[in-house]
Structure 1
Amino acid sequence: MNYSFDFQSVTRNFGPLLDGLVVTLQLTAAANLIGLTLGFVVALMVMSRWAVVRWPATMFVEFFRCTPALVQIVWFFYCVPMLFNVFLGSVTMGILALGMNLTAFNAEAYRASIQAVPREQIDAGIALGLNPLQRILYIVLPNAFRASVPVLLTNGIGIFQQSALVAIVAVQDLMYQGKTLATQTYRPIETFTIVALIYFAVSFPVGQLVGYLERRRAGLAG
């Protein structure tokens, strides 16, 4: 192979990649905010005794878990304006698509954790006179959140990586800026290598944190 690597052609134009990383982090933060809050609500709906509440929530979870994230992003970007006459910016559409996807996966994490909450704690809340909403807020939610933190972090970093898909609808995230820079410099190998390293640099510490939390939880359980 006679290819001559030239990473300086990329590092000299590093500014756009940093701008793209900022957009990617904004997408990730907003999607996680949606996923962490709505995920718990959807989990409660999935576990509802009323079918009229349970079935729509279950279908929501299954739809977003069983269809590709790329299809969801494209659907939000092109179909929502046509069907509902709602015109939002591409970044907002990307946040909604990623947030709904993450909500579905977090709902399953919350559901498993809610089912693991000891019945004795709920009975204690009843004995103390807490109403159902108070029991959810002060007993179920804290316990379920602590138990599901490793999975929620894993899902969160997964959505950070999947956010690269929004480049297909012209959101100027890290992947979009990488594609643009690769075209301008004619250095796709160097450009996408650096883009991959940036994704790795953000994802790896979170992955290590997840591993630490899981080991710590296993140690406490033991």
Structure 2
Amino acid sequence: MNYQFDFHFLSGSLPMLWEGLQVTLKLAVVSNLIGLVCGFVLCLMTLSRWFFIRFPAQMFIELFRCTPVLLQVVWFFYCVPMLFNVFIDPIMMGFLALGLNMTAFNSEAYRAGVQAIPREHLDACTALGLKAWQRTLFVILPQALRNATPVLMTNAIGGLQQTALVAIVAVGDLMYVAKMLATDAYRPLETYSVVALIYFALSLPIAQLVQYIERKQDAATGRS
């Protein structure tokens, strides 16, 4: 292999990479927040005993689970304005597309967490005369969140990586900036290698934290 690596050209592009990284982090944080909040609401809808609430929620989940994320991003960016005559800022559209995808996957994580709650805890809520919202807020949510935390954090890593897909619709995230730099300098190996290391550096601490939490939960389960 006679290729000579040269990373020096990237030194003058650090401000551009930083701006792209900021957009990536915004997309990751906001879409994960949407997924955490709306995912729990969607989970409660799927567990409803009323079919007209449960069925649309289940269809929403299956729609986002059974179609490629890239297709979802492209659909929101190009089809929503055409169908509804609504033109939203590209970053806001990225929040919406990625956030709804996270909502679907986090809902399933929450559902598994809710189903892992001992039946005795729910019976105790009835015995204490707690209202439905009190039972949901003070009993179900804390336990479901604790049970689902490893999966939710794993989904967060996936959400961070999925932000790169908005580059295809010209949102100026880290991946889009990298694509421009690689094209202008004819240095794709150096550019994409550096960007890969950035994504790795962002994801690795979360992955290590997930493993730590899983070990703590396993140890607590073993003690109980």
Question: Could you report, residue by residue, the CA deviation over 1:85-115 in whole angstroms, capped at 9, with x for unpaired residues?
Answer: 1110111111101000000000000001101
Looking at structure 2, the residues matched to 153 and 140 of structure 1 have their Cα atoms a distance apart, in angstroms, of 19
The TM-score, its normalising length taken from structure 2, stands at: 0.97
Q: CA deviation at 1:12?
A: 2.9
- What SS is found at the alignment partner of 2:175? helix
How far did 1:11 drift? 2.7
Provide the residue aligned with 1:64 in structure 2.
64
Aligned residue for 1:49? 49
Using the TM superposition, give the Cα deviation of residue 186 of structure 1 relative to its aligned residue in structure 2, in angstroms. 1.4
* 2:153 pairs with 1:153: yes
Aligned AA (2:10): V
User: Which range moved further: 21-30 or 124-133?
Assistant: 124-133
| Offset from partner CA, 1:150-186 (integer Å, 9 cap, x none) | 1000001101001100001111000001001111221
Question: May I ask how many residue pairs the two structures share in their alignment?
Answer: 222
Matches within 5 A, 1:47-196: 47-196=47-196
Distance of 2:159 and 2:172 partners within structure 1 = 16
Given that 1:6 and 1:190 are in contact with CA atoms closer than 8 Å, whether structure 2 keeps it comes out as yes
1:23: which partner in 2?
A: 23
- Native 8 Å contact 1:10 1:185 kept in 2: no
Over the aligned positions, Cα root-mean-square deviation in angstroms equals 0.8
Deviations 1:106-144 (A, max 9, x none): 000000110111111111112222111110001000000
TM-score normalised according to structure 1 size: 0.98
Q: Please state whether the residue corresponding to 1:75 is helix, strand or coil.
A: helix
Structure 2: how far apart are the matches of 1:12 and 1:217? 46
Give the drift of 1:53: 0.5
Cα distance in 2 for partners of 1:2, 1:104 equals 47
State the percentage of identical aligned residues.
Answer: 60
- Give the Cα–Cα distance (whole angstroms) in 2 for the partners of residues 89 and 49 of structure 1: 38
Q: What is the CA-CA distance between 1:18 and the residue it aligns to?
A: 1.2
Distance 1:11 1:190 in 2: 12
Task: Please give the secondary structure, in 2, of the residue aligned with 1:87.
Answer: coil
